[in-house]
Each structure stands twice: as structure tokens, then as C-alpha cells.
Chains A and B, each alone.
Chain A
């Protein structure tokens, strides 16, 4: 027992020590900082020059990386903004799945976005209002989502980039028992994947 008692504090200290050492972030690989010391001493001015040069190179590299990162972020932000701008719901008449004339420009904008961003993939969700049975509405949501997909395919987007899914009446956008709410809920949503 005594042995165990004495060992534990050491073990704890050891573990803590190791733990702290491990937690330290690995330093950025400096370009051989020890090298000047082991070589024959160079004139102080030359050492300073070399150090300054290295520091400048480092700074330039960091700046370039930062700029690239920012450019990437800006590109992504632009992509997300473009997506948010064009991925607007389209709505349907009661128990219908035809694309309404009023929604065709929205689908055109989505097709243009898909052309501008060839890597984009968008899931089409079909939804229904609450009037109708659970199962029939799930089927109706499939049909609505497919109608939107088919229309986008005619505008030049590949089917594979437009997977669709139905949520029937299970995920209404608004709560309400009036024509306005029902129209909002009879919709296709377009979700960037």
C-alpha cells in the first residue's frame, strides 16, 4: 500500500508533465534556426541580413497564403450568396404538380446558377399543404419534386445534380389554416448539397 501511495503522486506529476508537453502546439518549422551557431561565426551584419531576408520571405509567404485563403472564402461566399439568391421556393395549385408560369423565371435562375457553378448539386424537396392524407401527400410531394427536376433538366441541368425527395405534409413551412398558408406550404424547396 505504501508503495502505491508514493508512486501515485509521481505518476500524476509525470502524466501532467507529459500532458502539458503534448498540448503545446507544434512550432511552425523554422528554417534550421540552430545552423548559424554550429557553423563558424559569421559577421554580425551578415547574420542580421540573412535573418531579415528569411523573415521577409516568411511574411510574403504568409501574405500569399492569407490572400489565397481570403480569395477562396470570397469565392465560397459568392457561391453561397448566388445560391441563396436563386434557390427560392416555387409553389403549386391545390392537388396540382404543374410548374406555374409565375415560377418559371425562378427555375430559369436556378438553371443559370447550375451552369455558372458546374460543381453545384441541389436537392429538390416536394411539400404539400395539410389537406390530404399522409400517404397521398407523400406521393404528391414526389410528383411535385419530379416536375421541378424535369423542368430544370429541359433548361440544361443534368438529372444527377438534382436529386429529389418528398416530405409530403410532414414539414409545413408555416402554421395556418387559410389559403395563404396552404399556398406557402404547397412548394418545392431547393437545398444546396
Chain B
């Protein structure tokens, strides 16, 4: 349903031509050995072949390269994609051969026919027809990459995902932007000409964020998917106080947020959008902030200085059973619960700069991800848990990066500086 709605929104319609009946998962993502894929230049009719190579083929190849379970074969490819040439493809290390035809009758509408052949067995394993406007060719490419990842692993890929983040446009003016996972398609979401901060995206794509447009910081965002941005909190009957750090619950019905009180303390409250009920989860003479839900929506990780320095804590969603998670270091913050619930990413400060860490709940141990000279902040997980997006840099020079969990593959997503608070989202 979600995928279908997304497709509609983007004007991309995919139709199944001939689904191969055998749809079992070919390989587990954790199996280690990678599947060699080769994608020779598509046959093109009615469109610029260079454009198709650049915006479709190259994008699919780059997505598959980033996806993890694939190894893209690019060297000494045979000229023919016909069956007699299959053994020659096997020689190159190819497992899957992507045979693609792209055509356009009208200037705007294009058709992509994709056939994937397992060259070892000589059997087709995937066959699908994609249609859409030529202008959204990259979107079709990302959809193809996610389909192939799903065909291989049984899990949805992240090629179609996006990153929402805050960008400074002028001193004191910050707006919310989004960009495709591969850094293309930059798009401005808010136009408040004020300070807008801390975006959170619900599973159905609804955004919420902090904005100072009315003077004091309030939570604004979408109450309905695709609806206009409206003031969400505080409402007329809510307790007064400044609002920060909103976080949608996994079901999108509740919003955890931080409310400042008259004594300068900050507490985490949960606002139920349906009933309008507000529940305060923390009540202490200190700072409690940065709430992050577990995927079941039953627990919240947060940062508190209740024991003197900022540390990461966990609690139930009614505020009970508070326990401290981080033990080492005197500044641990920005917890981000992983999508399957087994890990919590956070930042830890050492010698004035932050690095990313991942705490594995099963092991009760932390692993350091980044060891940069710059400060790395605001981790947020990809839906497949293979990557983390974060901001990194120095004052005014923060950019958005992604990293795998080893910290070895760090990629810069934005060339421009003044970026913060990235959120990885599957749906916007």
C-alpha cells in the first residue's frame, strides 16, 4: 500500500508484465558472498541513449553497488546478451545479467522493460515493465534497484529512500530540506523564513518539526498525510512552555516531545493526537531531551543530565523503569533506536568533538563507528539498518554524510555547508 501510494505521488507507475512464479528468496543478505550483477547499456528507442545511460543505468548500478549484497561487474563484458554468450558472462563473475529496453512513444512517457537472467542456469529470474515520465527516470532506477534487492534478499532496499534535514539559508534562518539517498533531487520543504529545526518523519510520511515562526518554539507539521503544515503543539489546553525535539511514535499516533517548564527544566511528554491527551514522562530538576522510540512504541531512549553530565537512558512509554544505558565518557547524547530494535546509535564526546557509537542491546556493548577529526552528530538509521546518516564538520561547516556500520564507507551527501539533524526516511 505504502509503495503504491509513493508511486502515485511520484507519477511512477509500475506494472508487472510477467512475474516469474518462483519468488523464493535467492540469498540471505547476511550470507556473505555477493551476487555479481552486470548491466550492459540498455537498448534505447525514442530517447537520448546518453541520458538513459546516465539517469537510469548508472543510477541502478550505483544503487546496487551501495545496496551491499551485490557486486557490480564492469570489466570485459561480452557484447552479446543472447544465450550463447552466457558462459562468457559467467567468466566475468556475473551471476545476474540485466537486459533492459527503454523506449518512449510520446516525449514524456517512457517504458522500461527489464529482464534479469541467471547466466549460470540460463533462466530468467525477474521480468518487469516500468512506465513513467522520462523526467523521473532516476526514480524508476531507484525502484528497479529496490526490486532487485527485494528479489535477492526478501527485504526492501533503501534506494528509493530520502534524507530530510535542516539547512541554514542565512544567519538565524533555517529551513527543512529533503534529498534522495544518493544526494540528488534537493527539495525545500518549509518556507517559514524563521528558525525551523529538528524534523521527524512518521511511517506514512508526515513531517513534524520545531519552528520559531510565531516567536516561541512550537511543534508544527502534518496531521494528515499529504496535508498542509499546521501547528500541532502546544494546543490551547496544553501546559505552557517551549517545545523541542519532536519524535513520531512508530504508529504515527503519538508525538514524544520536549517541553521546557517555567523553572528552565526540560521534560519529555507524549502527546496523543487522537485524544489530545498529554502525558509527562519525566519530572526532575534537570534536562531530559532527544526522545527516540523503540520500534514497538513501548520504550523511549533519551538524554538526561540527571546524574550530572549528559547520558543516554531508557524508559517505558509511561515514564517508568528508567535505566542508564551509557557508562563511559562524560557526554553521551542523541540516541537513535534502530528499526529492528536491537541497537541504539548515539554520539559520545571526547576532546571536544563527537563521534558516532552503536550500542548493541543484546551484547550490552558499544562499538565506535566514526573516528574523524571533525565532530559527528545526529545519527539516524536507514530502514535496512546497514547505514547511518549523520551531520559532520565544524562550526557552520556541517554537512550530511552516510556511513556503514564499520565506519569504513563514509559518503558525503551534501556539498553545501550549514546542514544538521538528518533523518533517514523511507516514505517522503
Contact = CB atoms under 8 A, between A and B. Distances in A.
Q: Do A and B bind each other?
A: yes
Interface in B351-401: 352, 354, 375, 377-378, 394-396
A170 B333 contact: no
Given A139-B287, A167-B195, A130 B244 contact: no
Nearest to B349: A131
A175 B168 CA distance: 14
B236 interface: no
A68 B334 CA distance: 58
A139 B289 contact: yes
B63 interface: no
B245 A135 contact: yes
Residue of B262, B265, B287, B354 ringed by the most chain A CB atoms within 10 A: B287
B196 to A, nearest CB: 10
A136 B242 contact: no
Contacts of B195: 167, 170-171
B198 interface: yes
B331 A132 contact: yes
Interface residues of A, number: 30
A146 interface: yes
A171 B172 contact: yes
B201 interface: no
Given A135-B289, A143-B287, A170 B174 contact: yes
Nearest to B244: A138
B266 A139 contact: yes
Interface in B177-195: 195
B263 A146 contact: yes
Contact of A175 (B264, B377, B378, B396): B396
Contacts of A131: 349, 352, 375
Given A139-B258, A166-B242, A134 B265 contact: no
Nearest to A131: B352
Contacts of B378: 133-134
A106 to B, nearest CB: 19
Given A146-B263, A147-B264, A134 B172 contact: no
B170 to A, nearest CB: 11
Contacts of A87: none
Given A166-B260, A171-B171, A176-B395, A133 B303 contact: yes
Contact of A170 (B197, B215, B395): B197
Nearest to B215: A165
B134 interface: no
B216 interface: yes
Contact of A133 (B264, B266, B377): B377
B333 A133 contact: yes
Interface string B202-220: 0000000000000111000
A151 to B, nearest CB: 12
Contacts of A135: 198, 244-245, 258, 289-290, 303, 333-334
Contacts of B375: 131
A21 to B, nearest CB: 40
Interface string A128-158: 0011111110111011111101100000000
Contact of A165 (B242, B305, B377, B396): B242
A170 B418 CA distance: 11
B421 interface: yes
A97 B303 contact: no
Nearest to B267: A139
Given A134-B197, A136-B310, A142 B264 contact: yes
The 9 A-B pairs with the shortest beta carbon distances in the complex, nearest first, are A146-B264, A139-B266, A143-B264, A139-B287, A142-B260, A135-B245, A133-B333, A135-B289, A135-B290
16 contacts: A133-B333, A133-B334, A134-B421, A135-B334, A136-B287, A136-B290, A138-B217, A139-B266, A139-B287, A139-B288, A145-B264, A146-B263, A166-B260, A171-B195, A175-B395, A176-B395
Interface of A: 95, 97, 130-136, 138-140, 142-147, 149-150, 164-167, 170-172, 175-177
Given A133-B354, A150-B263, 16 more contacts: A97-B264, A132-B310, A132-B331, A133-B377, A134-B197, A134-B377, A134-B421, A135-B245, A136-B305, A136-B310, A138-B289, A139-B287, A139-B288, A139-B289, A146-B262, A171-B171
